[in-house]
Amino acid sequence: MMRVALMHRRLAGGGTEADLRRLAAGLARRGHDVHVFCARADAVLPGVTLHRVPIVRAGRLARLVSFAFAAPRLVARERWDVVVGFGRTPRQDVVRVGGGTHRTYLARMRAAGLRRAPLGPYHRAILWLERRQFSPGGHRRVLAVSARVRDEVARDYGVPGERIAVIYNGVDLERFHPAERAALGPLVRHELGVDDGTRLCVAIGTGFRRKGFDLLLGLWRTAPPPHTALALVGGDERLGAYRREAARLGGGVAVTGPRADVEALLAAADVVCVPSRQEAFGNVVLEACAAGVPVVTSRRTGAAELLDGPLAALVVEDPEDLDGLGAALARALGPEGPTFGRAARRLAERLPWDAHLERVETFLAEVARER
């Protein structure tokens, strides 16, 4: 049995937060003593001890910096076999990188023309914390969720390859299953106003520009796939602006905001699109595969590394290439769609969540023995 501490400012949410919750609960089920240190204990994890880290809440910069320094100090009061940082904390045994490096993210945004102003204090603080956590004194090992992330960490911060382990995420093969299409799909399609005979493209994620959702809106503005509706699902600080843009495009585009029923959305979809400009992994890619739905994504999405065989034809090299994005969507929605869907399910079956949990457990045990 290991005594494990996990640090991340937020517990509720999707993406990294969902990975944290599942990993903590999974390790606890396997008999480990698991503790999560977070700024707000707003979820219940069976068998997991939650510790509230006091932070300054006066703005996002204060929240970021105060947690970064308070969490490691609080963790250091006790003895642990292994300490894992899921966010931007300057000291831990393992840095778990589930979102790529901020340095590469900023470079992608500049290259796309979406960031021109000088960096403000918030982004400078993130880069400073990244330098600290990836310095020799900030970690013992790095856990990367894809080879793309491994390469970003090595290139941006000079971390030796032997200190970086790549462990792809897994997926719940029962929650996301092709059989749910008949049971859940029609209700969601009716809710979204998708008529019979109209296909549905679904995009799910938080942070719409990083996910490339503005590119999908651009495609639907200029050359939308025929008889195909678009649903953008997730959170963004400019959600209202995206909703106004969707309204200008007419009834074929919906922006719903965050939703918890991802399995129902995937059951309703004819294709899922993840045209990310930077994406460490992209759980929704694997979830869509498990649901038997074709996935169009970009080469900058970590999960694209797994899309082999016929699925590789749906990976777009450059997400800014709207012609290429439209061609991939047309192919996924064409006669080959069922073939892509069956291949996607077979791929997901190679990556069950329990196997992922076992690989992470083995990795953490190795780090604990080294310590």
Break the chain into its structural domains and give their ranges.
Answer: 3-170+352-370, 180-349
Least confident among 178-187, 230-239, 242-251: 242-251
294, pLDDT greater than 90: yes
Name the more confident of 294 and 245: 294
The per-residue pLDDT for 307 is 96
Q: Amino acid identity, residue 274? A: V
| 129 token code pair | 């914390």
**Mean pLDDT along residues 200-227:** 93
Task: With cut-offs at 50, 70 and 90, classify the pLDDT of residue 118.
Answer: confident
Name the more confident of 114 and 320: 320
| 219 token code pair | 């495609």
> Does residue 292 contact residue 269 with C-beta atoms inside 8 Å?
no
**Mean pLDDT along residues 276-283:** 91
Q: Do domains 3-170+352-370 and 180-349 have the same CATH topology?
A: yes
147, pLDDT greater than 80: yes
Distance CA(294)–CA(331), nearest Å, equals 10
% helix, strand, coil for the chain, step of 5: 45, 15, 35
The per-residue pLDDT for 317 is 94
Per cent of the chain over pLDDT 70 is: 100
116, pLDDT greater than 80: no
The per-residue pLDDT for 111 is 82
Mark 189-209 as b/e (b = at least 16 C-beta within 10 Å): beebebeeeebbbbbbbbbbb
Least confident among 168-182, 234-248, 263-277, 312-326: 234-248
The per-residue pLDDT for 117 is 74
Nearest to 299 by CA among 114, 160, 77, 108: 108
Model confidence, pTM:
0.91
Pairing outcome for strands 228-233 and 3-7: unpaired
**Mean pLDDT along residues 74-82:** 97
Task: With cut-offs at 50, 70 and 90, classify the pLDDT of residue 297.
Answer: very high
The per-residue pLDDT for 246 is 87
- What distance, in Å, lies between the first and last C-alpha atoms of the chain? 15
> Does residue 67 contact residue 12 with C-beta atoms inside 8 Å?
no
**Mean pLDDT along residues 157-178:** 96
Task: With cut-offs at 50, 70 and 90, classify the pLDDT of residue 251.
Answer: confident
The per-residue pLDDT for 160 is 96
- Say whether domain 180-349 belongs to CATH 3.10.310.40: no
**Mean pLDDT along residues 234-240:** 89
The per-residue pLDDT for 114 is 78
Burial of 225 (0-12, 13-18, 19+ CB in 10 A): buried
Task: With cut-offs at 50, 70 and 90, classify the pLDDT of residue 121.
Answer: very high
The per-residue pLDDT for 64 is 95
* H or E segment to which residue 108 belongs: helix 102-111
The per-residue pLDDT for 330 is 96
Look over the chain and give the mean of its residue pLDDT values, rounded to a whole number. 94
- The CATH T-level fold of domain 3-170+352-370 is Rossmann fold (3.40.50)
Residues in CB range of 233: below 8 A, 6 or more apart: 202, 203, 204, 205, 256, 257, 258, 259, 265
Nearest to 34 by CA among 75, 64, 89, 77: 75
**Mean pLDDT along residues 337-349:** 97
Residues in CB range of 188: below 8 A, 6 or more apart: 261, 264, 265, 267, 268
